[in-house]
Amino acid sequence: MRVLIVEDQDRLRNWLKKGLEEADFAVDATGDGKEGLWYALGNSYDVIILDLMVPGMDGLSILRRLREAGHEDQVLILTAKDTVPDRVKGLDLGADDYLVKPFAFDELLARVRALVRRRYGKHSAVIEVGDLRIDTARRQVWRGEQEVTLRAMEYKLLEYLAHRAGETVSRTDIWEHLYDFRSHTVSNVVDVYIANLRRKLDRPGTKSLIQTRRGLGYVLGADS
Amino acid sequence: MMQSLRSRLIVGMLVGMAVLQVAAGTTIYVVQRRQLQRAFDDALLGAANSLTLLVHPGPFGHWFDTNGLERLPVVQAGVGILFQMWSDQPIDMPAPRPSFDGGPEDAGRLGPSRDEDIHPDDRPPSAGRRPGETWPRRVDDPPPPSAEPSPRGPREPRWEPWSRERVIRSAALGELDLPRLETAIGKSRFAAITLPDGRPGRAVGVQFRVPHLLPGPRRTPPAELTVVAAASTVQLEQQLGFLGMLLAATALGTMAVSGGVAWLVVGRGLRPLARVARRIGALDETGLKQRIDDRGVPREIVAVARQLNGLLGRLDEAFERERALTADVAHELRTPVSEVRTITEITLRRQREPDEYRAALGEVLDAITALQELVEKLLVLARLEAGQMKLELRPLALAPRLEQHWVRVGARAAARGVVFAVRDPEELPVLADGPLLDVVLANALSNAATCAPDGSRITAELDDVGPRCRLTIVNAGCELSVAEAGRVFDRFWRADAARSRSGLNCGLGLTLVRRAMEAMGGQATARVDAERCFVLTLTFQRAARSG
């Protein structure tokens, strides 16, 4: 899942990025409002973490421009402004959540996860596709009764596919949601992870969970 | 003591009215008294003058027309006139007609003469009168029993007995005397006297001369007489007393009625005040946004209501500023706190290498340092604004301190290629408090260093303006408009809602500079010059140059 952080405090921004990356999010971060808007308009983020007081362009303007441009990204406002009018104004402008500094990082993570779920129309932290069960909070995957151990990138890919279960997900989508700008990966890396997932999840003699739509992308649990 | 507006108004009005009433009443009384007295005196003088006309010259001496007395208007009017007449020669006086006796109006009548012992032979030869003459007049009535019969014996027509008198009195005087008011011939003289019967009265004295009638050897010499007419003033005083009572009663009555009316009217007039008071009372402590409704309030009280509304407005603004300040302080404190918390939480989420911990702690230390600086600035500012800072103003040199502070706060800017230059050709000492001057210079330079673009130049120039020294710090890279330049001293004010990039520059620095300068008897101003440079001007008190 890909997250954008727009926060002008250098230390806070860098550590948020570090913390979210360690929680397996692909993170882009900027301290400038205009740059933040440009990132947000040019990419498909699952969640945007927005500070209200950033130089260049303030958070509420970014939010307004984003919504005017029709972007439905989940936006979490992260600010030291805690008055009710501030919160109301932010939420009314189209923010999905509001968190006041100082905050507990665990809470921020939980809220970001909840926003991701909401982005894909899910309510539960556990996604079930057939007998595949993914606990997004604990980051555990089960196939039937058996737990499957996945590497970080494999898990990220599976979670993304599971969020969009039944849909054809293009390689570009996968690319956009799993990697930040700084990632330098070779073009067939997605195919490699798909192959690894099939090897770890599929049972011999059965149809693969992940189907390839040639020229379009992949589908998780198309038949179920 | 008297707190009621109503009582004050009414008492004031009544006192005013009382003064007016007394003045008017006194004026009326005095004028009236004078007029009555004048009328009284005129009547008295008229009576005296009439009396003078009763003395006639005759061929054989002067005589007093006793019976003409009753034709006098004053006698006819029944005014109780007393009179007494003195003459320098005996006056013939026929006996009065007995019909005058009795009755209250006999005051004007002649009284018994003390000169009755004058022998009838002393009478003027005119006593040998010719029959048919009208003078002296004939008396038809029999003479009073006391009257001496004519020495020539009774005749027909019978002549009344004559007497020759030097003093003639009205009958009511009896044997008593009026004071003899002497004056010049043709003049009159008034006096307040006590009448012989003890009543108060007024008298007028008139002196007159009755000339001789005929020339020749037997002519009568002119007689000089004084007549004094007097009357009781008891009635006059009664009239005046009544007038005084009437005036006093009118005044008291008027005041009582006006007091009552005023009580009602003032009470009614003050009712809007109570209404406004109720409206003010309805404002609660959260009601600084509320205003007193001044509709339907009298003009005089509208001013009060408006002033109160103005005060409410100013209080509201002050409270708003304080609220905004509290919010700003909270906001500024939260930022470093949230940094520390986030860094710590993320670091603790998993086992890490020692280097990672070290790096995290270093960043936490940076954040804590920023927090400390902010807290200290707030503290200094609070002390300055509360006037709790003890200052020791001494002559200090600015240039070396500027250099020192630049080394400390300008290190990062210097790394960006920003150059700092001090120009202090005269090495002017300024009067300042050392620690506070450090606060000023550090914050001023820090602000300049933060704003200055890479490779630009910051200049600090010290010059002499009369009794003061002026330090001008100029840096390029100002993004403020000319109008916004003055607001940089507001606490936590920023050019836009977006925060400035530096974590340290949190909108307090220049506020602190201005407050500190003011505390040291100087001032701080800011402007944006034509080249879009930010110009901060600090004016210090000039110190006497030592040596």
**pLDDT, tens digit, for every residue of B399-446?**
888 888 888 888 888 888 888 888 887 777 888 888 888 888 888 888
Q: Is the per-residue pLDDT at B122 higher than 50?
A: no
Query: Residue A214 — very low, low, confident or very high, per pLDDT cuts 50/70/90?
Result: confident
A19–B342 CB contact, under 8 Å: yes
Q: What pLDDT score was predicted for residue B266? A: 85
At B136-173, the pLDDT tens digits run 333 444 444 444 444 444 434 444 566 777 888 887 78
Given the structure tokens 């600010």, which residue do they identify? A79
Instruction: Enumerate the residues of chain A whose CB falls inside 8 A of the CB of residue B349.
Output: 19, 22, 105
Lowest mean pLDDT among B124-128, B157-161, B336-340, B521-525: B124-128
Q: Is the per-residue pLDDT at A49 higher than 90?
A: yes
Q: Is A216 left (phi over 0), alpha (psi -120 to 50) or beta?
A: alpha
Compare CB distances from B497 to A8, A53, A103 and report the shortest one's residue: A53
Query: Residue B110 — very low, low, confident or very high, per pLDDT cuts 50/70/90?
Result: low
To the nearest whole angstrom, how far is the Cα of B360 from the nearest Cα of chain A?
A: 9
Size of interface A-B (CB pairs under 8 A): 81
B350–A22 CB contact, under 8 Å: yes
Q: What pLDDT score was predicted for residue B313? A: 86
The rounded radius of gyration (Å) of the Cα atoms in chain A is 18
Where does chain A have alpha helices with state H?
A: 10-22, 33-42, 59-68, 84-92, 105-119, 152-163, 171-178, 189-201
Query: Residue B279 — very low, low, confident or very high, per pLDDT cuts 50/70/90?
Result: confident
Q: What pLDDT score was predicted for residue A222? A: 62
Q: Is the per-residue pLDDT at A186 higher than 70?
A: no
Residue B382 tokens read as 């609070």
Q: By the CB < 8 Å criterion, does B328 face chain A?
A: no
Task: Please say whether the beta carbons of B332 and B494 come within 8 A.
Answer: no
Q: By the CB < 8 Å criterion, does A140 face chain B?
A: no
What is the C-alpha to C-alpha distance for residues B204 and B188, in angstroms, rounded to an integer? 7
> Among B457, B434, B465, which Cα is nearest to B538's?
B465
Q: Where are the domains of chain A?
A: 2-119, 126-220
Three-state secondary structure call for residue B188: strand
Instruction: Enumerate the residues of chain A whose CB falls inside 8 A of the CB of residue B335.
Output: 9, 12, 80, 101
Q: By the CB < 8 Å criterion, does A41 face chain B?
A: no
Q: By the CB < 8 Å criterion, does B327 face chain A?
A: yes
Instruction: Enumerate the residues of chain A whose CB falls inside 8 A of the CB of residue B327.
Output: 83
Q: Is the per-residue pLDDT at A137 higher than 60?
A: yes
Q: By the CB < 8 Å criterion, does B369 face chain A?
A: no
Secondary structure element (H or E) that encloses residue B229, with its range: strand B223-232
Residue B178 tokens read as 């009026």
Query: Residue B287 — very low, low, confident or very high, per pLDDT cuts 50/70/90?
Result: low
A101–B334 CB contact, under 8 Å: yes
CA-nearest residue to A17 within chain B is B346
The rounded radius of gyration (Å) of the Cα atoms in chain B is 58
Give the long-range contacts of residues B98-104, CB within 8 A, separation 24 or more.
B98/B141, B98/B142, B98/B144, B99/B141, B100/B69, B100/B70, B100/B171, B104/B78, B104/B80
* DSSP characters over B342-397: HHHHHHHTS---HHHHHHHHHHHHHHHHHHHHHHHHHHHHHHHHHT-----EEEEE
- What integer is the mean pLDDT of B227-241? 88
Q: By the CB < 8 Å criterion, does B412 face chain A?
A: no
Q: Is the per-residue pLDDT at B125 higher than 80?
A: no
Look over chain B and give the mean of its residue pLDDT values, rounded to a whole number.
Answer: 78
| Longest Cα–Cα distance in chain B | 179
Query: Residue B101 — very low, low, confident or very high, per pLDDT cuts 50/70/90?
Result: very low
In sequence order, what are the beta bridge partners of B423? Answer: B461
Q: What pLDDT score was predicted for residue B139? A: 41
At B453-511, the pLDDT tens digits run 888 888 888 888 878 888 888 888 777 777 777 777 777 665 554 444 433 345 677 88
CATH no. for A2-119: 3.40.50.2300
B503–A10 CB contact, under 8 Å: yes
Compare CB distances from B501 to A55, A100, A106 and report the shortest one's residue: A55
B343–A11 CB contact, under 8 Å: yes
Instruction: Enumerate the residues of chain B whose CB falls inside 8 A of the CB of residue A52.
Output: 497
Instruction: Enumerate the residues of chain B whose CB falls inside 8 A of the CB of residue A85.
Output: none
Is residue B205 packed enough to be buried (19+ CB in 10 Å), middle (13-18) or exposed (0-12)?
buried
Is residue A2 packed enough to be buried (19+ CB in 10 Å), middle (13-18) or exposed (0-12)?
buried
In chain A, % of residues over pLDDT 70: 97
Instruction: Enumerate the residues of chain B whose CB falls inside 8 A of the CB of residue A82.
Output: 330
> Among B467, B446, B448, which Cα is nearest to B526's?
B448
Question: B121 or A93, which is more confident?
Answer: A93
**A126-220 adopts what CATH topology?**
Arc Repressor Mutant, subunit A (1.10.10)
Q: Which amino acid is at B460?
A: A
Q: By the CB < 8 Å criterion, does A217 face chain B?
A: no
> Among B95, B146, B152, B148, which Cα is nearest to B129's?
B152
Q: What pLDDT score was predicted for residue B114? A: 42
Q: Is the per-residue pLDDT at B547 higher than 50?
A: no
Question: A94 or A81, which is more confident?
Answer: A94
B335–A22 CB contact, under 8 Å: no
Instruction: Enumerate the residues of chain A whose CB falls inside 8 A of the CB of residue B503.
Output: 9-11
Given the structure tokens 């020791």, which residue do they identify? B392
At B52-81, the pLDDT tens digits run 888 887 767 788 887 787 777 766 666 678
Q: What pLDDT score was predicted for residue B146? A: 44
Q: What pLDDT score was predicted for residue B108? A: 52
Q: By the CB < 8 Å criterion, does A103 face chain B?
A: yes
Task: Please say whether the beta carbons of B458 and B421 come within 8 A.
Answer: yes
A56–B498 CB contact, under 8 Å: yes
Single pTM value for the model? 0.55
To the nearest whole angstrom, how far is the Cα of A165 from the nearest Cα of chain B?
A: 31
Q: Is the per-residue pLDDT at B176 higher than 90?
A: no
Give CA separation, B137 vs B54, B65, B130, B472, in Å: 13, 9, 11, 131
Q: What pLDDT score was predicted for residue B111? A: 55
> Among B376, B55, B213, A192, which Cα is nearest to A178's?
A192
What is the C-alpha to C-alpha distance for residues A213 and A171, in angstroms, rounded to an integer? 11
Residue B397 tokens read as 């040199």
Peptide bond into B157 cis (omega under 30): yes
